[in-house]
Structure 1
Amino acid sequence: MSDCDRHQPSLKPVEEALALLLSQAESVTEKESVPLNQALGRVLAEPVKSQVDVPPWDNSAMDGYAVNSADLSADKAHLTIDQRIAAGSVGKPLTPGTAARIFTGAPVPPGADVVVIQEVCEANGDRLIIKEKPAPGANIRSAGEDILQGEVILKPGLRLAPQHLGLAASVGVAELSVYRKLKVALFSSGDELVMPGNPLGSGQIYNSNQFTLTGLLQQLGCETFEMGIVEDTFEATCDALRQGAEEADLVLASGGVSVGEEDHVKPAVESLGSLDLWKIASRPGKPLAFGHIKGTPFLGSPGNPVSLFVTFTIFGRPFIKKMQGLTAGIQPISRKVVAGFEKAATDKRQEYARGQLEIDEQGREVVRLYSNRSSGVLTSVAWANGLAVLPPLTAIKPGDVVDFIPYSELIS
């Protein structure tokens, strides 16, 4: 533990910081109607009701013969095949002593109350022998057994996935009401930054944070307003914050949120609005800034690339999801796995360590940590497939159970 940490009794615990952020997240309210083929990944704004019963009529669940169970004796039944019903066609009412050759999905004709599978039947011309007697109703899918007309099949606050679009299509819905896309302004603070494609000067590094942030936002379906690199001055930082607040629903900044002489984000936000959160008991990502600029929320992360990634996925992502109008699945779900590492009980902050989940020789899920835990090592984020959650002041030894959040919960 560093001397800096020893003198930070006011660090806000992770759970409290998350609760504060989510309490301040106001969902967008504007809606728009989009066709199904443009609705993937959008957040549903209004309930979807079925226009029809599904299935719309009793239909066959198997290839076989539609019959009336009253015509079946306990042993063998001999019937006459007098019609053929394929999917897409409609048969005539069944007369006593007859059977209808029927195929999967085809409407069951009036008078039939059972479909006998073809494997227990013997057909010769128009003569049919049924060797096993099924129970009435067997192999028939009843009208409305899946969905009833007028039933709500999709509720608001849902991020639309392929299966939801298919379900809407199955009841005849062609367009969906969704919330408009959240617009996020983002910029990187730092005179040392250079955009990829340009030569590096002395003391300069490439701006990776903008591309990490843009990718994370695009995964969430946000519209981005990219402001590029902002020089390390109070005036330039204020100008960027003002512009971002005017153009977008949320302003994101990377870098400049610490307490150094060249860190201007914190005083700039305080001069333009309010700063409601600053330091969190999290490693990496202690200086996470949250506030408002003329009513527009602001989130500022440290400039170290790993800190940026962790603070966005753990804190920024849930905040954005709630702003988008989601009502469930806002916070990531962790899973219990076996620790394949050791950690002393000295850290007062909760750590989100880059980990790789593997299956060991005993079939257990074991997480191993990247060898370099520095917040500047972006290769660790690319190497990992999730984050191991290491509670404060907790010793961990190999074989202990720990929480692990897979990337599927953090970036997809």
Structure 2
Amino acid sequence: MTERTASSALMPLSEALGILLRGVEPVASTTLPLADAVGRVAAEDVPAAADRPARRTALRDGWAVRADDAVGASAYAPVALAAPPSWVEAGETLPDGTDTVLPPEAIEASGPIAEIVADAPAGAGTRLAAGDLAAGSLILAAGQRIRPVHALAKPASDPVRVRLPRVAIVLARSGAEARAATLRSLVERAGAAVSGIVAPARGPAALAAALVAETADLCLVVGGTGFGREDHAAASLARAGRLAAHGLALRPGESAGFGRAEGRPVLLLPGAPEAMLAAFLVLARPLLRALAGAAPEAARAAPLLRKVSSAIGLSEIVFVAEGAGGVDPLGSAELALHRLLLARGAILVPPEREGYPEGTSVEIMPL
């Protein structure tokens, strides 16, 4: 059981992440209807049960014909049909013996006589059997985040297996309700679920008892991470289990920490809004991905509209706003709330860099 004092060395972010994620396994899977699983992480592959469509279907409203019957047809050389063609609506199965859908104006009919006045290549206006999905093809792969578009391939009521980490938000200091609401949204967007928001009585004993009693997969302790007289988060975690780190080479977020209580990970997030968000982005989000068994996702990059300066030796989070053709840096530590409200994401400046020049393409961590 360890505890960092105000004079102790700060742990590098890369080292902290290695310790934090060591031995973390995905949580057990659970079943949800697809409609309720959007935003969660699939626990297993989801294949298509059958060909879609089962037979050739129309992609447009029009006349179902055999392409060979329409070859060379034009307004100057119409092709007479032995019988009026069948009209089909988009999405309908084509009648037997047809393979093409001509647009409405391609057929001129007068009583029982119908003529084709425009041809089309075979298959025009149609979708082949299995053209949408072939039986056995993957709708979802294990580790993939479920998106609203996936409901187009599978009924919304169908069950899917997901990994849904449960997160408890523990308020170590009073007045942190707004921060808890922000964390709840961030946790949900990360594919997890908030199991509860706990506000224990003041003091290290009560906070430690709350951490021991909690059964969630992850506890996020908000506030009380500094070195003031009323900051008991680190001491409480040490009392409840094991304090692995307190004090990171992260700006903002130097007073963040983590450890375990009852075998479950506990993150100590600073109470200052910009520091809380920074620690969530670089610590909680990777941990939630590991607990959910999420596969790596493609990162978004954008050029900087202004240069960013940073101190060597610290991993620095710089919040950014959207701008014309790139992102505009807003600032880092001690960022005023009216500026933080403009943020749409953040970038991480590694400890070996002094910043980035204007125009550098940087990876954006979304907020």
Same fold (TM over 0.5): yes
Residues 1:384 and 2:343 aligned together: yes
Aligned to 1:365: 326
Length, aligned pairs only = 357
SS of match in other structure, 1:367: strand
Distance in 1 separating the partners of 2:356 and 2:131 = 53
Residue 302 of structure 2: aligned partner: 336
Moved more, 288-297 or 220-229: 220-229
Amino acid in the other structure paired with 1:104: A
Question: Is the alpha carbon distance of 1:40 and 1:388 closer, same or farther for their aligned partners in structure 2, counting shifts above 3 Å?
Answer: closer
What residue number does 2:59 align with?
61
Contact 2:55–2:128 under 8 Å retained in 1? yes
Unmatched runs of 5 consecutive residues or more in structure 2: 1-6
Within the candidate set 187, 191, 198, 1:227 is matched to 198
Structure 1 length-normalised TM: 0.76
* Equivalence for 2:314: 349
- Shift of the alpha carbon at 1:146? 1.7
Matched, 1:149 2:135: yes
Q: Output aligned runs, 1:198-277, within 5 Å.
A: 208-220=178-190, 221-231=192-202, 233-244=203-214, 247-260=215-228, 262-277=230-245
Alpha-carbon shift at residue 277 of structure 1 (Å): 3.4
- 1:350–1:390 Cα contact (<8 Å) kept: yes
After superposition, give the CA deviation of every residue in 1:344-396 in whole Å (9 maximum; x if it has no partner).
x544212112222211xxxx3241425xx443733332122221333435445
Q: Scaled by the length of structure 2, what TM-score is found? A: 0.84
Confirm or deny: 8 A CA contact 2:209 2:240 kept in the other structure.
no
Within-5 A mapping of 1:175-190: 175-179=158-162, 181-190=164-173
Q: What is the Cα deviation at residue 262 of structure 1?
A: 4.3
Q: Which residue of 2 aligns with 1:165?
A: 151
Q: Any idea what SS the aligned residue of 1:225 has?
A: strand
Deviation at 1:261, TM superposition (A): 5.2
Q: Is the 8 A contact 1:354 1:380 kept in 2?
A: no
In structure 1, what is the equivalent of residue 120 of structure 2? 134
Greater mean alpha carbon deviation, residues 206-215 or residues 148-157: 206-215
* Residue number among 314, 317, 336 corresponding to 2:282 in the alignment: 314
Q: Post-superposition shift, 1:307?
A: 0.7
SS at match of 1:41: coil
CA distance in 1, matches of 2:83, 2:348: 68
Deviation of residue 260 (structure 1)? 4.8
- Residue identity in the other structure for 1:71: D
Cα deviation digits, residues 316-356 of structure 1 (max 9, x gap): 02211321332343xx824131232452x544212112222
TM-aligned CA deviation for residue 133 of structure 1 = 3.3
**Deviations 1:73-128, CA, capped at 9 Å, x for gaps:** 53534233745xxxxxxxxxxxxxxx333332222222223333334443333323
Aligned mate of 1:289, from 239, 254, 257: 257
**Could you tell me which amino acid in structure 1 is paired with residue 11 of structure 2?**
L
Q: 2:108 aligns with which of 100, 119, 122?
A: 122
Change (3 A) 1:27 1:78: same
Tell me how far apart the structure 1 counterparts of residues 272 and 71 of structure 2 sit (CA, whole Å). 79
> In the alignment, is the contact (CA less than 8 A) between 2:60 and 2:101 conserved in 1?
yes
Report the residue type matching 2:79 in the other structure.
H
Q: Give the letter for the 1:340 counterpart.
A: R
Q: Unaligned 5+ residue runs, structure 1?
A: 1-6, 84-98, 195-205
What fraction of aligned residue pairs are identical, expressed as a percent?
26
TM-superposed deviation, 1:311: 0.6
Aligned twin of 1:111? 97
Deviation at 1:8, TM superposition (A): 6.7
1:78 is aligned to 2:37: no
SS of the counterpart of 1:136?
coil
For 2:357 and 2:259, locate their aligned partners in 1 and report how far apart those are by CA, in whole Å: 40
Give 1:100's match in structure 2, choosing from 86, 90, 105: 86
Counterparts in 2 of 1:33-44, with a 5 A limit?
A: 34-44=32-42
Which residue does the alignment assign to 2:17?
A: 18
1:175-231 deviations in Å (ceiling 9; x for gaps): 2233364322222223xx34xxxxxxxxxxx65433332332344441332111542
Moved more, 389-398 or 160-169: 389-398
- Whose RCO is larger (CA < 8 A, sep 6+)? 2
CA distances 1:255-292 after superposition (whole Å, capped 9, x unpaired) = 23344554433233234332333333211012321211
Change beyond 3 A, Cα 1:249–1:396: closer
Question: Do the aligned partners of 1:66 and 1:115 also contact (CA within 8 Å) in 2?
Answer: yes
